[in-house]
Amino acid sequence: MSTQESLLKVQNLHTGFEIEGKTYYAVKDVSFDVKPKEVVCVVGESGCGKSVMSLSIMDLLPKHNGKIAQGEILFKGKDLVPLSDNEMNQIRGKDISMIFQEPMTALNPVLSIGFQLDEVLINHTTSKNEEIRRKSISLLQQVGISRADQVVNEYPHQLSGGMRQRVMIAMAIACQPQLLIADEPTTALDVTVQAQILELITKIQEEVGMAMLLITHDLGVVAEMADRVVVMYAGQVVEYTDADRLFYAPKHPYTKALLDSIPRMDETREVLNTIKGIVPSLKNMPAKGCRFVDRCPSAMPECAEIDPQLGEVEKGHAVRCILYDASHPEKEAEVK
Amino acid sequence: MLIYTLRRILTMIPILFLVSIVVFALALAMPGDALSGQINPANANPEYIEEMREELGLNDPIHVQYGRWIAGIVQWDFGRSVVHSRDVTQVIGDRLPNTILLSAVSLIITYILAFLMGRYAGRNPYTKGDYAIQGTNYLMLAIPSFVAALFAIFIFSFQLGWFPSTGSVGRGLEAGTLDFWISKLYHTFLPALVLGALVTASYTQFLRNDIIESSQKDYVRTARAKGTSESDIYNKHILRNSIIPIVTLFGFDIASIIGGAVIIETIFSYRGIGELLITSIQQRDSAVVLAVTLMLSVATLLGNLLADLLYGVIDPRIRVE
């Protein structure tokens, strides 16, 4: 996994929020990479820092209190963290683009679809107005909107959630980016529409030949789409491997618990398995030890004492749990 | 849109009818009439005064008086001013252009100031500039307009001598010439500024708060994700949304500006409708009082209608097909 072949390489990322004068880390020490044309899924419960991590990459954190405190985000070998707003504007929407969770609020209610779609092209190309409008219409057709030439003149409130998400996708792919970040793109949609949107995203991802960072909490989606998977818990990466090994040989107790809570066709169960408890909130994060300890079925007394490290258990499979020597800060050296 | 407008205008008719009853009742509730206190009983025969009352119809039953009044209005006859001995339409017609000019200049100043200050404060919240603007706002909101007017006259007219302190136009100028209009604008500026202070403050505050709120919205994040520059985000995405609440206020402003003009015009001896209203009330010239009050009510209704129509232009979600 050398830098050259990674399109995006996140290293040691810490993103903090300032609340009442103190900094709390929503993302703590996250590292992973995305290769060209690859689909990497980030999974975890709500409140795990998945969205904050993806907003960090785009430099879209809330300006008044969110901040990348430490770490590097290398895109094609160039660190994005120190870039100014203007420099990021050259990259956002062109090389990296993003689809958000909430299509209902992600579009400006008082501007027409055409205006909002044209904007990406105006920002990043030098084409003439009529040419841009033609391109916008063809983009709408590409994302499966049938009345594209009418829809450009319509406003967001005239479209359904699924249509709006299609518009968002059209915006995201307008400049044929190399990386698409999709932050739970189907969560707010009807189940029937979810499948269509995912299918569309996959199709376009293959057509355009872009890499994708897909944030989701739906393991079904992961199974279908992912090449590799990053499992996050409480702001940290707890397991990082390829999709096959994640499903057939999960290592971290959290991953196992997540997989266990999927209902299965071949079993009759009265009650679904759940992971008891909730993700600790930013303010209640344990100061030391494993962050999953309170909810972990295999917790040991020392789990609350020792900070587990993300260690490579086997090639291409990293875990953060002291059940594995590679994660144990003292035993790690012996493994090597 | 046309049908909607027509329907709105039609619904104004019953409202106006109710307003006319209230206005008429209030005018009748004023103690005395045009003849009381004006004529020295020692010089005039009380019987003659009583005869005049009878002749003017002031002794008729209320519903008859009201009926006569409303029947006149429908024919664009607002009665005669007892004090001015002229038709009310003429008396008002003399003053109306001045008040319209004052209100228009005041609104223009208000919009320019509020837009500049609100936009600056909204884009740079919690900075020194923002605090300075907010401080000014609270001052403008807190100082009653008659006090502000006196201060403005003292500072800008007496101390600095920049603007005239009274009147609506310079002496000896021929109406219609360029000099005449320049003099008019010059006389209007200071009262207009004071008149607009209150509205400016509330607009600025509204705009600032809405810009701050809108800048956290999801669609702003989407615009950033497209690589849109910060100035485009504020000027195209946020401002379009933040103007909406201000337009809603427009309807109320028409009323509040004309209401404010009553006080301001009196202080500046500015010959407008407001000054006319005050003197007419003092002299119990009820035909003028009634006509002016009714006119203000119509202006408020029209202002609201205009605001509703503008609303649809700006916000496509409530656009009427």
pLDDT digits (tens, 9 = 90+) for A220-248: 889 988 999 999 999 999 999 999 999 99
Task: Tell me the nearest-neighbour CA distance from A307 into chain B, angstroms.
Answer: 35
Residues of chain B found within 8 Å of residue A111, distances taken between Cβ atoms: 236-237, 240
What tens digit of pLDDT does each residue of A284-309 get?
888 888 999 888 888 888 888 888 98
The verdict on a CB contact (< 8 Å) between A109 and B219 is: yes
Q: Which two tokens stand for residue B301?
A: 């209704």
- Considering only A34-48, A153-167, A304-318, B259-273, which range has the smallest mean pLDDT? B259-273
Q: Shortest CA distance to B249 belongs to which of B197, B187, B207?
A: B207
Q: Does A275 touch chain B (CB under 8 A)?
A: no
Are residues A155 and B236, on separate chains, in Cβ contact within 8 Å?
Answer: no
- The pLDDT score that the predictor gives to residue A131 is 93
A86 interfacial to chain B (CB closer than 8 Å) = yes
Residues 6+ positions from B106 with CB-CB distance below 8 Å: B191, B192, B193, B195, B196, B199, B257
Which among A71, A36, A35, A41 is positioned nearest to A56, based on CA atoms?
A71
Nearest CA in chain B to A118: B226
**C-alpha neighbours within 13 Å on the C-beta side of residue B264:** 31
A84 in contact with chain B, both atoms CB, cutoff 8 A: no
Task: Specify the pLDDT at position B278.
Answer: 87
**Residues in Cβ contact with A307 at an 8 Å cutoff, skipping those fewer than 6 apart:** A288, A289, A290, A329
The single residue listed with the structure tokens 């600056």 is B120
- DSSP structure class, residue A13: E
Beta bridge partners of A96: A92, A179
Q: Which residues of B touch A (CB under 8 A)?
A: 216-219, 221-230, 232, 236-237, 240-241, 244, 314-317
- pLDDT-derived band of residue A154, with 50, 70 and 90 as boundaries? very high
Please indicate whether, in this complex, the C-beta atoms of B228 and A100 are within 8 angstroms of each other: no
Among A98, A109, A111, the residue with its CB nearest the CB of B225 is A98
Q: Secondary structure of chain B: what % helix, strand, coil (to 5)? A: 75, 0, 25
Q: Do A155 and B244 touch (CB under 8 A)?
A: no
Partner B contacted by A171 (CB < 8 A) = yes
Residue A1 confidence (pLDDT) = 44
Please tell me the distance in Å from B216's CA to the nearest CA on chain A: 8
Contact B227/A98, CB-based, under 8 Å? no
CA distances from B31 to B36, B37, B69 (A): 9, 11, 19
Ranges of residues in chain B with a pLDDT under 50 are none
Q: A with B: how many residue pairs have Cβ under 8 Å apart?
A: 81
Residue length, chain A? 336
Residue A207 or residue B37, greater confidence: A207
- Check if A95 contacts B (Cβ < 8 Å): no
- Separation between Cα atoms, residue A123 and residue B237, nearest integer Å: 14
Find where tokens 């009147």 sit: B167
Interface test with A, best of B220, B222, B237, B241 (most A CBs within 10 A): B222
Nearest by CB to A90, from B223, B227, B315: name it.
B227
Give how far B256 is from chain A: nearest CA, Å.
Answer: 29
Q: Give the list of residues 6+ apart from residue A167 with CB closer than 8 angstroms, or none.
A: A103, A107, A113, A116, A117, A140, A143, A145, A151, A156, A159
User: Contact, A149 vs A189, CB < 8 A?
Assistant: no
Length, in residues, of chain B: 321
Q: How far is B70 from chain A (nearest CA, A)?
A: 45
Using the Cβ of A164 and the Cβ atoms of chain B, whether some distance falls under 8 Å is answered with no
Q: Is the CB of B227 less than 8 angstroms away from the CB of A155?
A: no
What is the per-residue burial (b if ≥16 Cβ within 10 Å, else e) of A217-248?
bbbebbbebbbbbbbbbbbbbbbbbebebbbe
Do B218 and A94 lie within an 8 Å CB cutoff?
Answer: no
Chain A residue nearest residue B219, CA to CA: A106
Helix (H, G, I), strand (E, B) or coil at A1: coil
Question: Best residue in A58, A108, A157, A181 to probe B by mutation, most B CBs within 10 Å?
Answer: A108
d(CA B84, CA B87) in angstroms, rounded, equals 8
Binary contact (B240, A108; C-beta < 8 A): yes
Q: Facing residues of A240 across strands?
A: A230, A318
CB contact under 8 A, A97 and B225: yes
CA distances, B156 to each of B138, B146, B165, B182 (Å): 21, 15, 8, 18
Rounded to whole angstroms, how far apart are CA atoms B258 and B260? 5
Q: Starting at the edge strand that comes first in sequence, how are the strands of the sheet with A311-314 ordered?
A: A96-99, A179-183, A211-216, A39-43, A228-233, A236-242, A317-319, A311-314
Is the Cβ pair B222, A106 closer than 8 Å? yes
Nearest to B116 by CA among B245, B230, B203, B19: B203
Chain B residue at shortest CA distance from A177? B226
Rounded Cα distance between A76 and A55, Å, is 18
Classify domain B88-318 at the CATH class level: mainly alpha
- The CA–CA distances, whole Å, from B169 to B58, B94, B144, B268, B271 equal 38, 13, 26, 12, 9
pLDDT at A89: 92
* A240 membership: H or E segment, kind and range: strand A236-242
State pLDDT tens for residues A67-83: 898 899 999 989 999 99
Domains identified in chain A and CATH numbers? 3-110+155-335 (3.40.50.300)
pLDDT over threshold 70, residue A2? no
pLDDT in tens, A322-333: 888 888 887 766
Minimal C-alpha gap between A140 and chain B (Å)? 16
Count CB-CB contacts under 10 A for residue B310. 16
Q: Both tokens of residue B9?
A: 């205008």
Direct distance between the N- and C-terminal alpha carbons of chain A, in angstroms, rounded to an integer: 18
Residue A261 to residue A247: CA distance in whole angstroms: 13
Distance, CA of B117 to CA of B291 (rounded, Å): 38
Is A155 an interface residue toward B (CB < 8 Å)? yes
Inter-residue long-range contacts of B229-237, CB under 8 Å, 24+ positions, other chains counted = B229/A86, B229/A89, B229/A123, B230/A85, B232/A119, B234/B119, B234/B122, B234/B123, B236/A111, B237/A108, B237/A111
Q: How far apart, in whole angstroms, are the C-alpha atoms of residue A240 and residue B195?
A: 67
Q: Report the C-alpha gap between B203 and B185 in whole angstroms.
A: 24
Domain ranges of chain B: 88-318
Give percent of chain A with pLDDT exceeding 90.
49
SS3 content of chain A, % helix, strand, coil (to 5): 35, 25, 40
**Is A170 in the B-facing interface, judged by CB distances under 8 Å?**
no
A207 class by beta-carbon count within 10 Å (0-12 exposed, 13-18 middle, 19+ buried): exposed
The answer to whether the CB atoms of B316 and A157 lie below 8 A apart is yes
Best residue of A90, A99, A115, A119 to probe chain B, by most B CBs closer than 10 Å: A119
B154's CB contacts (< 8 A; 6+ apart) are none
A107 touches chain B (CB under 8 A): yes
